[in-house]
Amino acid sequence: MQLFLHFTVLIQIAYSYKFIPTNQKQNYNFATNTILHKNVAKVEEVPHHVLIVYGSYFCSGSLIRSQVVLTTASCFDRSPHRKTVVKVGADTVTGPGQVISVVEIKIHEYYKHSSDASHDVALLALKEHAEFSDKVKKIVIVDPEVALRVGTSIDVSGWGHSNLPAKYLNHLVWSEMVVISNEECRKFYNGLITDSNFCAKYQVERRLSDNGGPALFRNLLVGMLSFGGTKREEPHIAVFSNASYFHRWITLNSRRFLEKYCVDLEPDLDISLKSLNDMI
């Protein structure tokens, strides 16, 4: 009887996810899309995209509150203690935009705990509010307990660098990728793939240059590029930190940032810390 109850609980957990899109398994492939995005993006098309600069390095992030940026912890692996700034509202690395100092970086407590890619998520607290406009907007994060169906197309943005043709250097670029199963992904990345990340296939000519950038499904932030999206060599599979998996951690620590550095909390974050702690 106990074994049956245990099996029932496992079945309920396994089916507790909501899948997007809501229809059955997608059969998408790159060849079926005749209106592919152009490689270079305009900031008005991805107004949440943020340039993160520390020392001589840069990576990507997403504006999720007027003073909070979401990115990956691996963004800071090369130089973790350098002064960090972000720029919003820019089409290029060197172009005009609002530059804001970062006052605190929150790395997930279990980053690299079970593998080099596990819990690859970080939040940045900004010294000033980003000034919202057509070029600067915050992005909505997918709900918790949501999973992408295999075969779903996602849009991923980043900053072009020297691994791309010269015409893309320093430009805001984006790529179309197609979600694959974690089982398929483990054939190439093995122990690096856990419940905290998911994978997507890309075309080599649509590869990116940096990590931390947002992955979108229908204007929802579903992931942050962790690694693998920049290579010319096979397997042309990118690995993302799963935004749904980290939703409660993101919400909790965003609120703590805003309580610490802002006078007034944004109304849609009016959730008690106690209830969030109970959920995590």
DSSP 77-94: SS-TTS-EEEEES-SBSS
Q: Which residue has the higher pLDDT, 268 or 88?
A: 88
What is the average pLDDT value for the chain, to the nearest integer?
Answer: 85
State the pTM of this model: 0.85
**25 pLDDT exceeds 60?**
no
**Matching fold, domains 18-42+139-242 and 49-138:** yes
Q: What's the rounded Cα separation, in Å, for the pair 3 and 279?
A: 27
Q: What is the pLDDT of residue 262?
A: 81
| Domain limits, the chain | 18-42+139-242, 49-138
Residues recorded for the chain: 280
Above pLDDT 70, what percent of the chain?
A: 82
CATH pick for 49-138 out of 3.40.30.10, 2.40.220.10, 1.10.10.10, 2.40.10.10: 2.40.10.10
How does pLDDT run across 94-136, given as a tens digit for each residue? 999 999 999 999 999 999 998 889 999 999 999 999 999 999 9
For the residues 202-222, what does the mean pLDDT come to? 92
Say yes or no: domain 18-42+139-242 is CATH 3.40.50.2300. Answer: no
Which pLDDT band holds residue 169 (cuts at 50, 70, 90)? confident
146-148 vs 18-20, strand pairing mode: parallel
What confidence tens digit (pLDDT) does each residue in 134-149 have?
999 999 999 999 999 9
pLDDT band at 280 (very low <50, low <70, confident <90, very high): very low
- Whole-number pLDDT of residue 230: 83
Pairing of strands 172-180, 197-202: antiparallel
